Chain A
Amino acid sequence: MSDEPKKSAKAWLYGLLPIAVLGILCCAIVKLGDRKDLLPTKVPPIEELSIQRIIIKPHGFQIEVMNDGPDELTIAQVSIEEAYWRFTMEPADKTLGHLEHGVITIVNYHWVEGEAYAIGIISRNGITWDAEIPIALETPVASSKNTWFFIILGVIIGVIPVALGLLWLPVLPYLSDKYLRFLSALTVGLLIFLGLDTMKEGFEFTEELAGSYNGEILLLGVGLLVFIGLMTLKNAGKAMVLDDGGRSLALRVSCLIALGIGLHNLGEGLVVGSAFIHGDVSMGTRLVLGFTLHNITEGLAIVVPLAACTVGISRIIGLGLLAGLPTIAGTLIGGFSFSQLWAVIFFGMAAGAIFQVVWIISKGPSLRSRDGGMALPENFIGIFAGIAIMFVTGLLI
């Protein structure tokens, strides 16, 4: 018995020893890290600058930048359309440490509305970066008018279509098992497309993201985390989200579908909001039309698992809002403080949630015949039709 504490102390010692040695090693690396003379070859400093955001003001530009390289970086001059221009910078010494943010302000430049501009940034060592403005339009500031614009935008592309899709619920009880399987398969098809589309959009943002954030890994990591997290949540079983003990698996699936779609719609909102903010109005309008048509199918996806049970109207509305409301958050964030980092995180979450739903549906009973088989023509046709519908409505985007 007296050996027990001794043993535990020993375990702690052996457990912590590698960490202590690692700590010493890290200190040594940090201390020697600046000793460039120890390197086998003479290396110039690595300079990387990430352009985070460009704000267009009535008589100038504001560029938010971040030092994405390992070494300190000093900005020497700034040009607009290949003309050096007067600017001020925060911090005033124009020097940014690793991952440090800075703001370059050009106070007096009379840009032409609708024209394209390239802002060149040149470092002390002559490395250059371009901040592109495809269409010059004044960046909206958060005013009540703009806020309403983005809220209404979110309602149009997210809330209303999802709600319309939910209206198909009363039709479902009239359908035979075969057609319900078809609709479930259709939902799976829709979700597969949505999941892949979400990942594609996420990867597009990773390209704009500062290299230090490891965008691709972040996207997949967040997705995987959400996927596993939701699975754990579901397995935790009875003690889950909804309060009444008689909650059916069907409701749980619906709930997860709504959550996944909600996260996806948050991402869609981001894309639409930032398209409007970047002056791409025609792109924005097309996105609105596309997403609106696209999203009506999302409402259907949510209610299909509920075909066999009776669910209160308030719960249906709740599911609709869970799927639709995040769109509004998306358009607002996209419109006023778009960040590639959050876009990647949201899209990663959405992809994880959507694929989790696909997983749950395919494991559950809704795609199976009485003998448990899944390889049925209606399932194949349903999945195919789901992907096809998304593809066709996607052509509008």
Chain B
Amino acid sequence: MGDEKTSQEKRSTGVNRRDFLASGGLTLGAAALASSSLKALGCAEPSCQGKSGTGGLPMDSDMGVIGDCTSGTLDPDLFLTHFDWGKVTKDLGDGKKRREYTFFAVDKEIEIAPGLFFPSWAYTSETPHDQDGNQIPGPGGSIGHVPGPTIRCREGDEIYIKFINQNNHPHTIHFHGYHSSEMDGSMKDQFVFQNETFEYEFMAEPFGLHLYHCHSVPLKRHIHKGLYGTYIIDPKEGREPARELVMVMNGFDTNFDGDNEIYAVNSVANHHMRYPIKVKKDELVRIYLVNTTEFDPINSFHLHANFFYENRTGTSMKAEYFTDTVMFCQGERSILEMRFPKTGLYMFHAHQSEFAELGWMGNFEVV
């Protein structure tokens, strides 16, 4: 009973946050994008929260997990379009900014499939900001989310991250991208112990799609417990406006046998089967796709009834491939761009059927 009440409370917090987003008067930038996408998802209304299963949508399949997550410990809808631009503390001229973040590593039990809980280690950003410097709520609030907050900045920005470890194991944040050896977060003397602080500081380059993760040992355990996130550096000239989505392909080894029991994008098994990602017909959709899956050598992404342009690591403005299936090893990532010329439901999933059937499957709903 006690647990039930707690989850009810957590859940109502989720509703409030969404209400805030929907009515908070945030009209510009990424937050507005997040807000409108939530509206588009039809999840801004509290009434949507109580729905279970597929929410009445026509993909009532026998395959897949049953029920709906009710604990509110994860927020994959918000995470999908959440970008943390940091607190701008200095204008460095030429469009460059100094962006400051405060990150924590915490313990958090997360609901990775309906009724299935995982004792994760999670990063959290204390005060996420949108592109215009407005403070915005982050997924999981101040209590952590898996994957960690998506850091977004521009090429040449100065990044400062104050990292406070609140977990009783030593952790670090190891960023992909250029930085000095001292900022690598991988050497033993760079491990951050409980209640200790480490300040990471570096220039954001090269532009592209990167990731960050804990580099403390044992590595496998530290990464697969949930300490990873996306780090996006926009090119100076920016990218074409689009419906931007962050998808981190991940897995969870719930019984610690070195094999994942759950696969997903953004942690929650089959979440977008229950709540399809709504996109508009013909609008440019940009997916920041990252693979952090532990234990399996590869993961993949396949889109139904459509093709997309792929730019690996996002480090060039020119797409290398035009395809419908891509394959990544752990740490690999790509920017995918596509338009849906027709309305309807379009499935996306790992093209390893095993992963797809263990939770890594969702739908776009083109309207």
Interface residue ranges, A against B (CB under 8 Å): 74-77, 79, 82-87, 94, 108-109, 122-128
Q: Is the CB–CB distance between A122 and B261 below 8 Å?
A: yes
Residues 116-148 of chain B: 1 if any A CB is under 8 Å from the residue's CB, otherwise 0? 111000000000000000000000000000000
Nearest CB in chain B to that of A123: its residue:
B116
A295 CA / B354 CA spacing, docked (Å): 49
**A/B pair count, beta carbons within 8 Å:** 67
Q: Is the CB–CB distance between B113 and A77 below 8 Å?
A: yes
Residues of chain A contacted by B65 (CB below 8 angstroms)? 77, 84
Residues of chain A contacted by B167 (CB below 8 angstroms)? none
A75 CA / B354 CA spacing, docked (Å): 21
A128 CA / B259 CA spacing, docked (Å): 12
Chain A nearest CB: distance from B290 CB in Å? 24
Residues of chain B contacted by A109 (CB below 8 angstroms)? 62
A79 CA / B354 CA spacing, docked (Å): 11
Q: 8 interchain pairs (CB within 8 A)?
A: A76-B117, A77-B66, A77-B113, A82-B358, A84-B269, A109-B62, A124-B116, A127-B254
Q: Is the CB–CB distance between A76 and B64 below 8 Å?
A: no
With beta carbons under 8 angstroms apart, the residue of A75, A108, A122, A127 that contacts B62 is: A108
Residues of chain B contacted by A82 (CB below 8 angstroms)? 354, 357-358
Q: Is the CB–CB distance between A77 and B114 below 8 Å?
A: yes
Residues of chain B contacted by A85 (CB below 8 angstroms)? 62-64
| Contact of B47 with A by CB under 8 A | no
| Contact of B251 with A by CB under 8 A | no
Residues of chain A contacted by B358 (CB below 8 angstroms)? 79, 82-84
Nearest CB in chain A to that of B253: its residue:
A126
Q: Number of B interface residues, CB 8 Å?
A: 23
Residues of chain A contacted by B359 (CB below 8 angstroms)? 84
Q: Is the CB–CB distance between A84 and B118 below 8 Å?
A: no
Residues of chain B contacted by A128 (CB below 8 angstroms)? 254-255, 257, 261
A79 CA / B269 CA spacing, docked (Å): 13
Q: Is the CB–CB distance between A76 and B62 below 8 Å?
A: no
Q: Is the CB–CB distance between A122 and B66 below 8 Å?
A: no
Q: Is the CB–CB distance between A86 and B115 below 8 Å?
A: no
Chain B nearest CB: distance from A47 CB in Å? 10
Residues 39-64 of chain B: 1 if any A CB is under 8 Å from the residue's CB, otherwise 0? 00000000000000000000001111
Chain B nearest CB: distance from A110 CB in Å? 9
Q: A84-B269, A127-B255, A128-B255 are in contact. Are A76 and B357 (CB under 8 A)?
A: no
Chain B nearest CB: distance from A372 CB in Å? 64
Chain B nearest CB: distance from A46 CB in Å? 14
A11 CA / B354 CA spacing, docked (Å): 71
Chain B nearest CB: distance from A94 CB in Å? 7
Q: Is the CB–CB distance between A125 and B269 below 8 Å?
A: no
Chain A nearest CB: distance from B136 CB in Å? 32
Q: Is the CB–CB distance between B113 and A76 below 8 Å?
A: yes
Residues 252-277 of chain B: 1 if any A CB is under 8 Å from the residue's CB, otherwise 0? 10110100010000000110000000
Q: A84-B358, A85-B63 are in contact. Are A76 and B255 (CB under 8 A)?
A: no
A290 CA / B115 CA spacing, docked (Å): 49
A86 CA / B62 CA spacing, docked (Å): 5
Q: Is the CB–CB distance between B63 and A126 below 8 Å?
A: no
With beta carbons under 8 angstroms apart, the residue of B64, B117, B254, B257 that contacts A84 is: B64
